[in-house]
Structure formats: structure tokens, C-alpha cells
Amino acid sequence: MALSDRQGYIPAMDIQHSVAQPSTAPAVIRREDYCPPAWAVPDITLDFRLDPAETRVRATLSVTRNGAHDEPLRLDGAGQTPVSVTVDGAVVDDWRIEGEQLVVPLPGDAHIVETEVVIAPDRNTQLMGLYASGGNLCTQCEAEGFRRITFFPDRPDVLSVYRVRMTADARRFPVLLANGDPVAKGTNDDGTHWAEWHDPYPKPSYLFALVAGDLAVNRSTFTTMSGREVELGIWVRAADLAKTDHALHALKLSMAWDERIYGREYDLDVFNIVAVDDFNFGAMENKGLNIFNSRYILADPDTATDYDYDAIAAVVAHEYFHNWSGNRITCRDWFQLSLKEGFTVYRDQCFSADQGSAAVKRIEEVRGLRASQFPEDSGPLAHPVRPESYIEISNFYTATIYNKGAELIRMMATILDPAKFRAATDLYFSRFDGTAATCEDFVACMEEAGGVDLRQFRLWYSQAGTPRVSAGLSHEPGGGRAVLRLAQHVPPSPGQPVKQPMVLPLKVRLFGAETGRPLTDEQLILLDQAAETITFEAVTERPVLSINRGFSAPVVIESDRSAADLAFLSAHDDDPFARYEAMQQLMLDTLVAGTINGEMNAQAVIDAVARTLAAEGLEPAFLAEAVLLPSENFIGDQLAMVDPDAIHAARESLRRQIGQALTPVWRRLYGEMAQGAYVYSPDAKGRRRLRSVALGYIAASGAEDAAALALAQFDAADNMTDRQAALTTLVSSDAPERDIALERFHARYADNALVLDKWFQTQALSSRDDTGAVVATLAEHPTFTLANPNRARALIGAFGMNQRAFNAANGSGYRFLADQLIALDRLNPQTAAKLLPPLGRWRRFDGNRAQLMRAELARIVATPGLSKDLFEQASKSLD
Ligand code: 0A1
Ligand code: ZN
């Protein structure tokens, strides 16, 4: 069944399974229960005696009563017991532990409260709080890690000025970094040394950071728009220093861009970035001391692909931009997470678009949205951009909060126009600087400075689900009038059975089917009714509809455009995104038909691909995107019932036919796109990409020399992009060159963890029949470990994305994933929970597979000692 038959989220009613619930169900936190903090903490001084096995933390808090009440002071402290508690310098013993909180009765309105705790960073496998990575010590406090370091009101609306003193072994930890500016340092007689840092900007505890380690630095400076010189430093292990120039360059570009586009200037004298190998997410925006997963810092041509280079620049920019959208203005509570994340993603997307091809960037964003956010929005874990409740906030660092959140900001920018949007962000930054704000505060600034009414638009924050828009265009040839009928429908999602119509900004243009000329200007239609009709006058020839140009709204368009019209738009539309989109839709329609009927008419796609490749003036990067087939997962998302084998067969068949029919074109491009010595530039990247797409089609055609060609590329490559592309082609083949390349790759990069991740990931994504078995064997490989999140994601995460291999009919993929998640949960619940969603797609599969998936979900939920992270994801996926 095709897209239009799908109802989105379908409540569980067909298959039942008994699920053992944990004896005490984890508490649900609700947005409506928000209360301001009872006590403020304007200042905190932290004194760390750092040691991997036993670190002593003394915290001195100045606390003030917030309003008239007689509540005691409540400090969060996960799993800790205080060694001592003093109030105003005197030891007290009337404190108590309630749950995970330290409760201290206080008589007056202002006190100094001091606690001391002992923690063990080297036993911290969760990578939250203070932990050891590669012999260094570092912190991760967002969202609720600070409570694993010391007792504190660990919530984002308690803002404090931090002073930090660290003492550590001078030889093991020669570098001591924290937030803000360095103020003093010295050495002691016992082989230790110390450093003090002061961050003058009040901040919530989730932005606290320190690093102690043996690190080398790549330094530079940046002069801000008001003429202040900022010292920049990227800190890594000495052997990696040569791989930090790209990140440093991206940082300077970001600083200049934020001044130019948003008028935002950096505010401290130093800005440090530290790269660590063990990290649960991509990076963290701690004030003045960003801590990064090393995969988003380290790059040289031999080890990093073009994709890696782009991702590094984007993440460096993202974390830097948080200094204003996140740090200077933070979130009142975690339900407002998208206030900082959606806005900051939008900012980093625009930054990246300005560095190269904006059209290709937009295509990549939409592909990402469809790969991760749309499935989330139509599945059991769907939630609004501003959620109403959670069990574990770490589970809400999602594509919905980040990427759909960014689309909301983009839509408001579209509705306002650039000048008003800038006025609105200026208002937001000045009005809320130094505070913990809400999504509502942001929207109110948009309304006020933009002079628009966004009352109905706010539904985007509260309603989950991807809106579906049906669009039908009719034309009266005689009267010259064209009528566009639009209707919207937002599918039900968990807890939201009925939805209101939303405001959908749709950019629309009509083209003449005969002449290929535009018949109208581009128009912005704000669809805010369930159904609307738009009339175009003086339409003199049969019009073809170009809609949702630039992907102006994050919706699914259901139109009755014929294969011929889609092919026409793929050749004539003047909006590059719409042109790409028309081709994608044509391919998708063909593949869906092929999946359902077992056969398809490939000719329209072949002709459209040929025409696009022959068209004048299109950049290679765009061509590469335009001629790529939709992924197997995305084809699956169009179907009420996913048949992974039929989808795979249809897609492979279409790939083969395109490969064979256009063999001379692929071979010509493969030759023409070859380049001399490696350079990193938008044009060079595009040529590499198009060449690897051509190689893929040559291999898909079944050409006898394809494996030899790929191995030759693999061996001759002077950069990772070409080498990885060749390996990706070979890894799905049965040719002997496959194992040769895999072995050479492993031998060459045995010492490089980030590149070994690629070795695991590439194999997990293979389309060969034996992939499930290979992945199970790789999980036993000596270099595989669940303790490193990158490695776990490379193998387990990638396997979950491999629709056909993961969904093997005998359930072996499901069992494997569940086994791995149960094991990983004991070490690192956050990372385990992130990898669960493929098991939650059971509603979309046949009864046999659905049963097998549910059995594994039930087994996970019933596991003794399960974390609340994994419990929340697994139990919601079963419902
Ligand atoms: N705020 C970071 C994302 C992040 C969230 C939680 C983390 O803890 C494990 C780490 C990073 C960002 O948006 O980049
Ligand atoms: Zn962020």
C-alpha cells in the first residue's frame, strides 16, 4: 500500500504480549508541573582534588531564598553521600537524603552551604559527570550530569557564577582547564599542581566543564568586531595535533559569521575546545570550554571523508553558536530544549549553506530529516517539539527536538522575511540575555518584531506528527484559470489522537507544460485551514505544479502529478530543491510500484536521470544527489507494510537498469570527475561525490571490471573519501577484491580508532546476504567494544539502519540487537537507549516479524536492573 493509505501512528491492538513491569515504575516528569526554584545559587566555588580512582569535590554554594516559603534547600546528587555538610562554616547534622536529593533545613534567607563528596571517575562508564577517557579526565553535565559530580540544584533555571580550583598530579595531568578565564595557577611540593578559573557569566550547572590531561594545543587568535582579541585553543593528544587545523579554521569562520549574520560577539578572553574519544553525543557547548567527540575535530585527507570535514565544520559552528543561543540565553526547563537546539541547528545549517552550495545543503538536510525525524514522528516515540512529559530527559535529544525544531525556526524566518527575522532575533537576544527562557518567549519576539500573528503557528510546538498535504491542480484551458486544491491532515500520534490544522508555509510556482516557462512568480501560500482553494488567473497553457519549493514546510506532499510531470519538473524547475524532489518522487513512485508488483517500468527514471546528467550548468554535487535512489528505509516508510526483501529487490533492479542503460555516461563521468592531488573545496567535493556515484552505478550494472575498478580506486586514492567510496562499493559485492580491500583497510588503519569505526560501519551497511552473520562475528572482533560509544554506534547502530539485514525473517537481527542493548545498558544507558528505535518499527511489519520484535522489546523491558533510559524507550515502543 502506498503512502496515502498510511495512517501514521497505529495504536497496538493487533498483537498482545505480556510485559513484566519493573516493581517501581520510573517517575514521569511533566511540563505542567514546572515550579520556579525555591532557592537561588548566585555563586558557587568548586575545589577538585583530581584523581581517576578517587576525586574529592568540595562545593561552596551561596544560596538565597527565592520568594516567601519555608522549604528546605534541596540539592540533587545522583548516587552520592556527602562526606560533610556545613552551613555558614559550621558542621550540621540535620540534613537527610530523600531519594537522590540532599535536604538541608535552613533558617535564614541567605547562607553559605558547603558539601564534600568523593567520586571515582575511572569507574564511570556512563560518561556522564566526571569520567576518564584515554587517560585524561573530563566532564559531561548536560542534561543531568552535574549531580554526579557534586550536590547542586541541577536544573537549567538556576544560574550561578562559577569559580573552580583544580589540583592534580602535575605529570599525569599537566593541563587543567575549566570554564571562563584562567585566573591563577601554581605548583605544590608534593608533585601536584593547581589552576583556578573564573567564569563571570552566570550559567546553569549543565554548562559546567573541566578537563585535566596530557594534551597538546593548536592555538590561534580571533579579533572580535569590537576589537577584543580572543585566544583560541584546540586541545588533543599530541599525536593528533596535525589534524586540528580544519576545526580551528571552522571556529574562526563561525565567530565571524555570527557577528555578521546575527550581530553576536564572543564574550570571554579564551575559547577552548577539547577532543575526547569516549563521548555519548557529538559535542558539548560548555561555556568557554567546548568538549567534543574526537570524530568532530580530527581530520586530515588520509583519514577523514568530505562528509567528515563538513560535519566537523557544522558541529564546531553549532557548539560555538550555542554561546548565545543556549549559554547567554538558556532554557527554563528541559521541555524547552528545542529553544536552544532547534534555533542553533537552524543557525549551523545557514552557516554551512553559506560555505558551499546552499541547494545541496538543503537537499542533505531534507534527506536527513526523512531518514530520522519523519520515522520518529510516525512511530511510537513521536513527541512534540516541546514535549509534555518524559521519564529520562536524555531520551529527548532527538531529531524532533533538533531537526524539526530547526524547521520551525526556518518557517518563522520565511514567514517574517530576513530583515524582520533579524530584528526579532535581536529582540530575543537583548530581552532574554542572562536568563532561562521558554519557546514561548522566542515566538513572542518573532510576533512582536515581525508584526505577525503566530497563535496558530504555535501548534507546531505542541502537536507531534508530520502533516500530510494533498495537492491537486486543475486547469480550464478556455478560461485560463488554474485551481489548486490543498488539504492538510496531521496523523494521530501517541497521546494525541486528534489534531488541529497547522500553519503550513508552502512556496508554490506553476510552469507551462509545453514551453517549460514559469507561468507565475513564486508565491508563499500560508495554508492554515483543513482545506483551501487557490486560484491562478491567466494561465495560458497547461500548468505543472511546483510545490513546497526549498522544502519550505516539513510536510509530506501527496499530489497526483504524473510521471511525465515529475520528469518535466526534474528537467525544468528553477528551484534546485524542487528539481531534486521531482526526481526523488518519480523514483519513489517507481520503486513503490516495483515493490508491490514485483516489476516496474524503469524507463521514465532512466530518461530523467540521463536528461539531468546531460543538462547544462548543474554542479557535480547537485547531480550526485539528484541521481541517487531513495534509501531502502525511505521506501519502506512509504508502505503500510514493509517487505524488506521486495524493497531491496526492486531497488537493486532499478539500480541495475539505470547502471546498464547509461553505462557510457557513468564511464565518461567516472573519467571526467577524476582529479589531481586532493583539495578540499566545494567543487572538488562535488566531483568526488559524483565520481563515487558513477562507480556505484557501474558496479550495479554488473560490469565485469567493476570490482577491479573499485580496488584500483581504493589503492590509488590519496584521500579517505575516494578510498571509503571504493570500499563501500566492494563491501556489497561477492568479488574477491572485497576481502582484499577490507584487509588492507584494517591493516593500514589498525591504530586509528575513528577510521576503524568506518571499517565496522561499512560492513554493517553491506547489502550482502550474509551481513547479519558478519555483524555477529564482528561483535566478537578483538577491537570491538561496547565501552566506546562511537564503536558501538558504528556496528550496532549501523546494523539497525540496514533494513534488509536487520529484519531477517528468522528474527536473528532483532535478537542480536536486544542482546547488545541489554549488555550496553549496564555500561552506558544513554547510548543503549539511542540505538533502540529500529525495534519499535514493528507495527509496519508482517505479523511474524512484529511478534519477534515485540518479544525482544518485552525481554528488554523485563531485564532486571534496566536503566530508566532503556526502559522508557523499550516500553513506549511496545505500547
Ligand atoms: N547540547 C549538545 C548535545 C549534548 C547533549 C547531551 C550530552 O550528554 C551526554 C552531550 C551533548 C549539543 O547540542 O551539541
Ligand atoms: Zn546543540
- Asked whether residue 158 is assigned to any structural domain, the reply reads yes
Residue with CA closest to ligand 1 atom 1: 284
Same-domain check for residues 359 and 379: yes
Domain interval for residue 489: 469-554
Grid cell at residue 765: 551497511
- Asked whether residue 873 is assigned to any structural domain, the reply reads no
Same-domain check for residues 62 and 173: yes
Grid cell at residue 747: 591493516
At 713 the three-state DSSP class reads helix
- Asked whether residue 824 is assigned to any structural domain, the reply reads no
CA 357 to chain centre: 21
Query: Given strand 192-203, what is the order of strands in its sheet?
Result: 90-91, 84-87, 110-119, 55-65, 39-49, 160-169, 192-203, 181-187
At 531 the three-state DSSP class reads strand
Same-domain check for residues 590 and 685: yes
Residue with CA closest to ligand 1 atom 7: 142
Whether residue 203 has pLDDT greater than 60: yes
Q: Are 792 and 754 in contact (CB under 8 A)?
A: no
CA 354 to chain centre: 20
State the chain's mean pLDDT as an integer.
Answer: 96
Q: Are 651 and 629 in contact (CB under 8 A)?
A: yes
The number of residues in the chain equals 879
Task: Read off the amino acid at residue 615.
Answer: A
The last residue of one of the domains, among 554, 589, 619, is 554
With vertex at residue 626, the alpha carbon angle to CA 622 and CA 629, rounded to the nearest 5 degrees, is: 140
Distance of CA 140 from the midpoint of ligand 2 (Å): 14
Looking at residue 17, its pLDDT comes to 34
Distance of CA 322 from the midpoint of ligand 2 (Å): 7
Same-domain check for residues 241 and 297: yes
Residues forming a β-bridge with 48:
57, 166
Q: Hey, how many other C-beta atoms are within 10 angstroms of the C-beta on 716?
A: 11
Strands 289-293 and 270-276 come out as parallel
Looking at the CA of 343, which ligand is closest? Answer: 2
Looking at residue 24, its pLDDT comes to 72
Looking at residue 1, its pLDDT comes to 29
Report the distance separating Cα 502 and Cα 457, nearest Å. Answer: 6
> At 799, is the pLDDT very low, low, confident or very high (cuts 50, 70, 90)?
very high
Q: Which of 154, 281, 396 maximizes ligand 1 atoms within 8 Å of its Cβ, making it the mutation to test the pocket?
A: 281
Lowest mean pLDDT of 87-101, 369-383, 390-404, 475-489, name the range: 475-489
DSSP of 231-284, one letter per residue? EEEEEE-GGGGGG-HHHHHHHHHHHHHHHHHH-----SSEEEEEEES--SSSEE
Distance of CA 287 from the midpoint of ligand 2 (Å): 13
At 205 the three-state DSSP class reads helix
CATH number at residue 588: 1.25.50.10
Element (H, E) at 847: helix 847-861
Cell 520568594, located at residue: 67
Catalytic, 319? Answer yes
Residue with CA closest to ligand 1 atom 9: 280
pLDDT in tens, 24-36: 789 999 999 999 9
Report the distance separating Cα 86 and Cα 40, nearest Å. Answer: 18
Residues forming a β-bridge with 176:
212
Distance of CA 402 from the midpoint of ligand 2 (Å): 8
Whether residue 167 has pLDDT greater than 60: yes
Which of 114, 116, 144, 319 is catalytic? The answer is: 319
Q: Which of 140, 284, 394 maximizes ligand 1 atoms within 8 Å of its Cβ, making it the mutation to test the pocket?
A: 284
Closest ligand 1 atom to residue 341 Cα is 13
Q: Are 485 and 530 in contact (CB under 8 A)?
A: no
Q: Which of 144, 323, 397 maximizes ligand 1 atoms within 8 Å of its Cβ, making it the mutation to test the pocket?
A: 397
CATH number at residue 547: 2.60.40.1840
CA 128 to chain centre: 19
Same-domain check for residues 502 and 515: yes
Same-domain check for residues 207 and 224: no
Grid cell at residue 132: 576518564
Mean pLDDT calculated for residue range 617-634 = 98
Look up the pTM and report it.
0.97
- Asked whether residue 17 is assigned to any structural domain, the reply reads no
The last residue of one of the domains, among 508, 526, 554, is 554
Mean pLDDT calculated for residue range 51-58 = 98
Distance of CA 397 from the midpoint of ligand 1 (Å): 8
- Asked whether residue 8 is assigned to any structural domain, the reply reads no
Q: Are 348 and 321 in contact (CB under 8 A)?
A: yes
Whether residue 654 has pLDDT greater than 70: yes
Same-domain check for residues 291 and 342: no
Task: Read off the amino acid at residue 50.
Answer: L
ipTM of the complex: 0.99
DSSP of 449-504, one letter per residue? HHT---TGGGHHHH--S--EEEEEEEEETTTTEEEEEEEEE---BTTB-S-----E
Looking at the CA of 286, which ligand is closest? Answer: 1
Q: Are 446 and 416 in contact (CB under 8 A)?
A: yes
Looking at the CA of 344, which ligand is closest? Answer: 2
Same-domain check for residues 366 and 437: yes
> At 391, is the pLDDT very low, low, confident or very high (cuts 50, 70, 90)?
very high
Residue with CA closest to ligand 1 atom 5: 142
- Asked whether residue 370 is assigned to any structural domain, the reply reads yes
Looking at the CA of 322, which ligand is closest? Answer: 2
Distance of CA 78 from the midpoint of ligand 1 (Å): 19
Same-domain check for residues 254 and 156: no
Element (H, E) at 96: strand 96-98
Q: Which of 142, 290, 400 maximizes ligand 1 atoms within 8 Å of its Cβ, making it the mutation to test the pocket?
A: 142
Same-domain check for residues 292 and 385: no
Distance of CA 141 from the midpoint of ligand 1 (Å): 9
Q: Are 344 and 328 in contact (CB under 8 A)?
A: no
Looking at residue 12, its pLDDT comes to 39
Distance of CA 23 from the midpoint of ligand 2 (Å): 35
Closest ligand 1 atom to residue 402 Cα is 13
Ligand 2 is a single-atom ion; what residues have CB below 5 A from it?
341, 344
Residue with CA closest to ligand 1 atom 3: 284
User: Cis link prior to 726 (omega < 30° from 0)?
Assistant: no
CA 754 to chain centre: 19
Whether residue 488 has pLDDT greater than 80: yes
Looking at the CA of 397, which ligand is closest? Answer: 1
Whether residue 7 has pLDDT greater than 70: no
Q: Are 628 and 581 in contact (CB under 8 A)?
A: no
Whether residue 11 has pLDDT greater than 50: no
Report the distance separating Cα 185 and Cα 170, nearest Å. Answer: 12
- Asked whether residue 101 is assigned to any structural domain, the reply reads yes
DSSP of 544-572, one letter per residue? EEEESGGG-SS-EEEE---HHHHHHHHHH
pLDDT in tens, 743-788: 999 999 999 999 999 999 999 999 999 999 999 999 999 999 999 9
Residue with CA closest to ligand 1 atom 6: 142
Q: Are 701 and 707 in contact (CB under 8 A)?
A: no
> At 8, is the pLDDT very low, low, confident or very high (cuts 50, 70, 90)?
very low
Grid cell at residue 736: 574477491
Looking at residue 18, its pLDDT comes to 34
Residue with CA closest to ligand 1 atom 12: 284
Report the distance separating Cα 795 and Cα 786, nearest Å. Answer: 10
Closest ligand 1 atom to residue 830 Cα is 9
Looking at residue 6, its pLDDT comes to 30
CA 627 to chain centre: 25
Lowest mean pLDDT of 4-18, 354-368, 443-457, 563-577, name the range: 4-18
3-state secondary structure 756-816: HHHHHHHHHCCCCCCHHHHHHHHCCCCCCCCCCHHHHHHHHHHHHHCHHHHCCCCCHHHHH
Query: Given strand 556-559, what is the order of strands in its sheet?
Result: 531-536, 481-489, 468-476, 556-559
CATH number at residue 67: 2.60.40.1730
Looking at residue 236, its pLDDT comes to 99
Report the distance separating Cα 565 and Cα 578, nearest Å. Answer: 12
CATH number at residue 402: 1.10.390.10
- Asked whether residue 473 is assigned to any structural domain, the reply reads yes
Closest ligand 1 atom to residue 315 Cα is 14
Residue with CA closest to ligand 1 atom 13: 341
Same-domain check for residues 206 and 220: no
CATH number at residue 257: 3.30.2010.30
Farthest CA pair distance, the chain: 96
Report the distance separating Cα 6 and Cα 304, nearest Å. Answer: 40
Same-domain check for residues 48 and 182: yes
Element (H, E) at 163: strand 160-169
Helix segments in 573-719, DSSP class H: 576-597, 603-614, 620-626, 632-637, 644-661, 663-672, 682-700, 706-716
Among residues 714, 751, 746, 715, the alpha carbon closest in space to that of 730 is found at 714
**Domain count of the chain?**
5
Report the distance separating Cα 438 and Cα 340, nearest Å. Answer: 9
Distance of CA 394 from the midpoint of ligand 1 (Å): 9
Closest ligand 1 atom to residue 326 Cα is 1
Mean pLDDT calculated for residue range 62-86 = 97
Pocket of ligand 1 (CB under 6 A): 140, 142, 280-285, 318-319, 341, 397, 830
Distance of CA 398 from the midpoint of ligand 2 (Å): 11
The DSSP symbol for 207 reads G
Contacting residues for 93 by C-beta, under 8 A, at least 6 apart: 85
Closest ligand 1 atom to residue 394 Cα is 6
Mean pLDDT calculated for residue range 47-63 = 98
Report the distance separating Cα 468 and Cα 493, nearest Å. Answer: 13
Looking at residue 20, its pLDDT comes to 38
